[in-house]
């Protein structure tokens, strides 16, 4: 029996995560995770990545505080990412801290806010010096405690990544990667989509549903940004209509029996000039043989690498599940990759065999990616 992975909302609310829309179109990508819905999604993901022993030592109020702070920080990789906790023996209380450092990803609006804050602090004599001393003492104390073994670093686990992280970045300047892009919602959140016709994009149904308001996203508020890479992109178009699986039920989005219906077609307001990615006509056995030969790939805009396209090439199809309505695979993919195409890539061709929907956990504790097989949406796509 299949069960949704720990944070069940990873299949629904938390799978789309990231920007409201590409920074070149409507909003600044640097401020996306503070948006309603999107920030909550990242907060859920942040809590899911905490070490169990750390989580168990925190009260519900402390967890809510951590989630609220995490919601204000855009997801991304940092050169320094330390999560640490102090033992309960210090004053009878348990403390949790995070130290992040890396490349400056602040947008123009954030820089302007920071400059204004610095000017305000300068008007208060001694304030900036006191803050600098406080930060310096805190860092020195942290280093000393790490050396003394008082503080221990917490191991973090990205949902959907088993063992070593095999994802690698892809340059989106060449086909088929130019035909993949971000599904950006103006209400917040992103997923991955693949161009399968000049004006048709394949993605997951739950990417187009607003679970907070219990309604479908308005098509004109959905953007497909093809070949997106750190703010640049190849082509862009808004949606003007959706075709959603008639069997997908939002109220049962967490049920494994419903995941196999989690597909949607986004109709664009205009045709793009990029060559679409064809749908496969292979049988499951043929797909499995091709995967065994190292041809299977998943490529998407994962939440922790939201600004770039990453792929896991050479992963494997594990099995069919739910009466053949799900493809289980061991490809590395996490939040934000919903709707990402499961591809067979050879030197001569590329074809879609399924689309990423969720992460499921078996009774023995192993977790796998769950993809909707091509049979579920091939007829609807070809009738377009």
User: Which tens digit of pLDDT belongs to each residue from 319-376?
Assistant: 888 877 889 999 988 877 899 999 998 888 899 999 999 888 777 777 889 999 999 9
The 8-class DSSP code of residue 164 comes to: S
- Contact, 172 vs 180, CB < 8 A? yes
E-strand spans in 48-189?
Answer: 80-86, 95-101, 152-153, 168-170, 180-185
Q: In angstroms, rounded to a whole number, what is the distance separating the alpha carbons of residues 127 and 325?
A: 62
pLDDT of residue 243: 96
Q: In angstroms, rounded to a whole number, what is the distance separating the alpha carbons of residues 241 and 366?
A: 38
Task: Tell me if residue 102 falls in helix, strand or coil.
Answer: coil
> The pTM is what?
0.62
Residue ranges of domains in the chain, CATH in brackets:
3-153 (no CATH), 168-382 (2.40.10.10)
- Contact, 339 vs 207, CB < 8 A? yes
Instruction: Calculate helix-pair angle for 127-148, 108-122, nearest 10 degrees.
Output: 110
Query: 181-195: per-residue pLDDT in tens?
Result: 999 999 888 999 999
Q: In angstroms, rounded to a whole number, what is the distance separating the alpha carbons of residues 13 and 7?
A: 10
**Which range among 102-116, 237-251, 299-313 shows the weakest confidence by mean pLDDT?**
102-116
């Amino acid at each position: 029996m299949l069960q949704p992975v720990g944070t069940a909302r990873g299949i629904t609310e938390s799978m789309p995560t990231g920007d409201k829309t590409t920074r070149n179109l409507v909003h600044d990508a640097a401020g996306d995770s503070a948006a309603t819905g999107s920030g909550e999604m990242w907060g859920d993901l942040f809590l899911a990545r905490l070490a169990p022993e750390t989580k168990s030592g925190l009260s519900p109020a402390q967890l809510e505080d951590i989630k609220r702070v995490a919601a204000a920080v855009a997801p991304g990789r940092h050169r320094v990412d330390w999560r640490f906790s102090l033992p309960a023996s210090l004053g009878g209380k348990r403390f949790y801290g995070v130290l992040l450092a890396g490349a400056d990803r602040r947008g123009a609006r954030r820089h302007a806010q920071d400059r204004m804050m610095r000017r305000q602090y300068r008007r208060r004599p001694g304030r900036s010096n006191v803050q600098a001393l406080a930060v310096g003492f805190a860092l020195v104390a942290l280093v000393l405690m790490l050396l003394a073994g008082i503080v221990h670093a917490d191991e973090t686990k990205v949902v959907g990544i088993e063992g070593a992280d095999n994802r690698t970045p892809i340059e989106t300047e060449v086909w088929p990667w130019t035909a993949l892009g971000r599904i950006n919602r103006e209400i917040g959140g992103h997923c991955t989509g693949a161009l399968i016709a000049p004006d048709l994009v394949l993605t997951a149904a739950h990417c187009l549903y607003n679970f907070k308001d219990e309604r479908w996203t308005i098509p004109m508020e959905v953007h497909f940004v093809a070949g997106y890479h750190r703010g640049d992109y190849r082509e862009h178009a808004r949606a003007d209509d959706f075709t959603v699986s008639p069997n997908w039920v939002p109220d049962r989005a967490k049920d494994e029996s419903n995941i196999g219906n989690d597909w949607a077609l986004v109709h664009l307001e205009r045709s793009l000039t990029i060559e679409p990615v064809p749908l496969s006509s292979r049988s499951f056995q043929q797909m499995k043989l091709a995967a065994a030969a190292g041809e299977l790939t998943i490529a998407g805009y994962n939440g922790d690498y939201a600004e770039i396209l990453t792929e896991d090439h050479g992963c494997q199809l594990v099995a069919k599940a739910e009466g053949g309505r799900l493809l289980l695979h061991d490809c590395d993919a996490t939040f934000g990759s919903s709707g990402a195409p499961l591809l067979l890539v050879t030197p001569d061709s590329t074809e879609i065999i399924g689309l990423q929907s969720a992460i499921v956990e078996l009774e023995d504790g192993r977790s796998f990616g769950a993809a909707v097989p091509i049979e579920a949406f091939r007829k609807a796509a070809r009738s377009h």
